[in-house]
Chains A and B, each alone.
Chain A
């Protein structure tokens, strides 16, 4: 008789709800008449994300201290629960943005099923507590995302994006897996806390096998978080994927990958901190440099936002590299407005794309601020937020990230970050300028008339944008309680 570990179903509730939503949407895709599939799939995914959101909050409230559950393979703590809340919030908004997307009609319920599955994988990943659950969670959401990128089969760009993402994402996963194997070989353990204990007991710090494995794990996570120099897939995939999916990837994938990076480095490799803090600082600088310089010359708004997401990976690696409690707090706090701004900005791009039936560039954004006041104001706020200006959470987030680096004694990193912020103002404000400050002759409601006139008002998309706008501004206004929440969550990590 093989002893079975006790399973804490409550800790798994967010993932299970999303898996249930996936199953429901898939059944709907098969059993329901065609005209009901879209509504049913969207409803199932929305309820799934909402349920997981609520469950993650309940787990947060009921988990004042840290438990390892299911034979130490999953960690139940506030750190993971807060990340799950962010992921599920981003997923919920994405469902609203996706609803009116012109995707092929016959596979529309499957789209929502795979979206729910991707969300479930991310929720699982952020609670991973050993190298095996880490790899499984990573692949769970990655494979779902490959499908989501390629789901618009009518568009060649979408298929190409899916295949590119699969090849490069698979490469990153394989590197991470080999790194995990090396770490397992060096320590004989898979669970994060036991790896760190084994390093301490057997004096393995600096062991060649261990350091090589650690480096490969960092590289693999760098691919997932799209940090330079592992970012080359990002602009192509972000441009080719359906725009709501791009928003979801920018927000939720980055949240999951960065939160996990902090967890695995802090819990499994605290003895090697002198190595990985430097490595992450170098990756952060490279991301800031490449992301910002490449974003300066983009005309396509989706590509510009893709490079902006690379530079934000750099910004959010700064608090991780700082390796202190204030850094963990800063990362968790920053992810809240960052996710809202990402989903919101790509939602506005999706809306513009639908009314023009063409890719959105800085040129055809002209006058959008006056034509669509709500979307214009929202997009302007998101751009201010990305640039780190008040009144948005981006301002406080950057401030906290820099203060974490300063606390670590890395003034040079703060200076790099501030210079990068100054450079980024140029391209973020270019969007605002295109929307509001173009001469009247350039204003164009629809330069290429779409058959049937302007698309109907998309109430769900506008609601999602409003919610994202609300979260962006609220995270500035309600800084105190959110920092408090992030502080409790960060205290789950051993600092």
Chain B
């Protein structure tokens, strides 16, 4: 096998996932939060593909393809919501989304 070994891919996958998770938790713009969600999903995808290579078995790669389709549809809904909110001239800041509080 050419290129780096599977553990390196796993390290990158974990790093991507952690970056995404931190982004969701810390960033305020809904656009960046959506982006971070995608990074989390892609980190998981990379892990799936690396493990699929490690085990020499293809179901992980098929899983990753399905995840890409799902991630795309999630982003469509998320962007649609963000556009609808922007049209209503709400602040694009998740901390200011606070009509609903108890």
Contact = CB atoms under 8 A, between A and B. Distances in A.
Interface of A: 131-132, 135-136, 139, 143, 146-147, 150, 153, 156-157, 159-164, 166-167, 170-171, 173-175, 177-178, 180-182, 184-185, 188, 190, 235-237, 239-240, 294, 298, 300, 303
25 contacts: A132-B63, A135-B63, A143-B74, A146-B81, A150-B81, A153-B84, A160-B97, A163-B85, A166-B78, A167-B37, A167-B94, A171-B37, A173-B41, A174-B21, A174-B41, A177-B40, A184-B48, A184-B52, A184-B59, A184-B63, A185-B10, A185-B55, A190-B63, A237-B100, A240-B100
A150 B30 CA distance: 15
Contacts of B57: 188
B11 interface: no
Nearest to B98: A160
B52 to A, nearest CB: 8
Given A156-B99, A160-B97, A236-B100, A181 B84 contact: no
B40 to A, nearest CB: 4
Contact of B81 (A166, A181, A294, A303): A166
Interface residues of B, number: 45
B8 to A, nearest CB: 14
Contacts of B88: 156, 159
Given A156-B90, A170-B37, A181-B47, A188 B97 contact: no
A185 B52 CA distance: 8
A298 B101 CA distance: 11
A185 B102 contact: no
A166 B77 CA distance: 8
Given A174-B17, A175-B40, A240-B100, 19 more contacts: A143-B70, A157-B99, A159-B84, A161-B100, A163-B30, A166-B78, A170-B37, A171-B37, A174-B37, A175-B21, A177-B40, A181-B13, A184-B48, A184-B51, A185-B55, A190-B63, A236-B100, A239-B100, A300-B102
The 10 closest A-B pairs by CB, nearest first: A185-B51, A174-B40, A188-B55, A181-B47, A236-B100, A177-B44, A178-B44, A170-B37, A139-B70, A181-B48
Nearest to B78: A166
A54 B93 CA distance: 46
Interface string B47-82: 110111011010110110011001001100110011
Contact of B40 (A135, A143, A171): A171
A239 B102 CA distance: 10
Nearest to A168: B24
Contacts of A240: 99-100
Contacts of B97: 160, 163-164
B81 A163 contact: yes
Contact of B66 (A136, A184, A188): A136
Nearest to A73: B59
A132 to B, nearest CB: 5
A227 B77 CA distance: 25
- Main SS of chain A's interface residues? helix
A163 B33 CA distance: 11
A363 to B, nearest CB: 15
Contacts of B50: 185
Among A162, A166, A236, A298, max chain B CB count under 10 A is at A166
A167 B47 contact: no
B44 A181 contact: yes
Nearest to A162: B81
Given A178-B44, A181-B47, A235 B102 contact: yes
Which of B34, B40, B78, B81 gathers the greatest number of chain A CB atoms within 10 Å?
A: B81
A182 B40 CA distance: 14
Nearest to A140: B70
A279 to B, nearest CB: 20
B47 A178 contact: yes
Contact of B74 (A166, A181, A235): A166
A268 to B, nearest CB: 15
A131 B55 CA distance: 16
A294 B101 CA distance: 13
A161 B97 CA distance: 9
A177 B102 contact: no
Contacts of B54: 185
Contact of A159 (B21, B43, B59, B81): B81
Contacts of B48: 180-181, 184
Given A162-B81, A178-B17, A143 B37 contact: no
A178 B101 CA distance: 31
